[in-house]
Amino acid sequence: MEDVQERADLCGQTLDERYRLLRRIGIGGTGVVFDALYLRDHSHVAIKTLRPCFLKHPDLPNRLRREREVSRRVLHPGVVRFFDEGMLGDGSPYLVMPLLIGESLASLLSRLGQLPGIEVVALAARVASILHAAHIAGYVHRDVKPEHIFLGRSARAELRLHLLDFGVCSSAQAPADEKKREAGRVFGTPSYVSPEQAAGEVEIDGRADMFGLGVVMFEALSGRLPFAASHVSKLLLRIISDDAPRLSAIDASIDPGLEHIVGKLLARDPEQRMPTARALSRALLPLSRDRLGAERRLATRLSPRALPEIGTITLHDSAHETARVA
């Protein structure tokens, strides 16, 4: 259980004479995030730290630093830029990023239940574009889920979308000892992991993220997850051994072409799955009627409390939400 006072002692402190920590705005499986004031121009930023119980973990401090590495190497506007870093007094790292305004797809779905197919197509195309950039840079996200898809709206009512939290991503450049420690462990959020992740395989590729995005699309279209169970171990076994249900069995109005794409993404065998994020983008093109209009409609669905016009700053804590198995 997380301590409600965890890292609360940092509130009010000034880091490296640049950032004054104002309040905690998220605590999750591995991290604590703060709203902070950048003292040079008095703008608000978000600062991500590790939970104290993970300070001596052999990999997590490096994973936090890897998030900044990803932000430098993955050249895509949908990847959050970490523009500074430093060390806390206990020797653990912290990262500085923009304070995002908007809400997660998970929040949106909790309010609306489902989304129209054309809007799910628009969302999936945007996420696929980000994943393509990450994959060609040598990273597999491993935790694609609605909580990590962050939606915002520009001053011109255009949709902004970020894929957050590369904290459990795999890297082609990861040291051999790190990969050895990962053997047999499940990285990601159980309901969204691919069969190969559920089996604890280390050598996975971008097709694992394609499966996760398929789960997200299934959920956004139908209002439910393709796999559920009473216990995590049973859930992982179902993902490994069972085929995903057909969307048309839940909602007969779903476009057959879109159902086919989601079914390909959710194939248990990676060889039968949609092979790349670029291939998914191409497959979605025939279904992308009035994509800009669909994106604008999505932007209008965002909670007014999360929009800059209201003056409310809301950060989706990329370390918060569902605890991971790992």
Active site residues: 143
Which residue type, as a one-letter code, is found at position 268? Answer: R
Report the candidate in 184, 206, 203, 199 with the shortest Cα–Cα distance to residue 239: 199
DSSP-derived secondary structure for 204-236: --THHHHHHHHHHHHHHHHSS-S---SSHHHHH
How far from chain centre, in Å, is Cα 102?
14
How far from chain centre, in Å, is Cα 61?
19
Would you call 183 exposed, middle or buried from its count of C-beta atoms within 10 A (0-12, 13-18, 19+)? Answer: exposed
Cβ 193 vs Cβ 239: under 8 Å:
yes
Euclidean distance between the first and final Cα of the chain, in Å?
Answer: 15
User: What tokens were used for 109?
Assistant: 């779905």
What CA–CA distances, in Å, run from 137 to 87, 172, 206, 288?
A: 27, 9, 11, 27
Report the candidate in 313, 306, 321, 318 with the shortest Cα–Cα distance to residue 48: 318
User: What tokens were used for 85?
Assistant: 């870093």
Using the structure block, give the residue that is written with the tokens 């700053």.
313
Report the candidate in 218, 215, 194, 216 with the shortest Cα–Cα distance to residue 205: 194
Task: Please state, in angstroms and rounded to a whole number, the distance separating the CA atoms of residues 189 and 197.
Answer: 10
Q: What radius of gyration, in Å, describes the C-alpha atoms of the chain?
A: 19
Phi, psi of 96 (to 5 degrees): -115, 130
Cβ 197 vs Cβ 142: under 8 Å:
yes
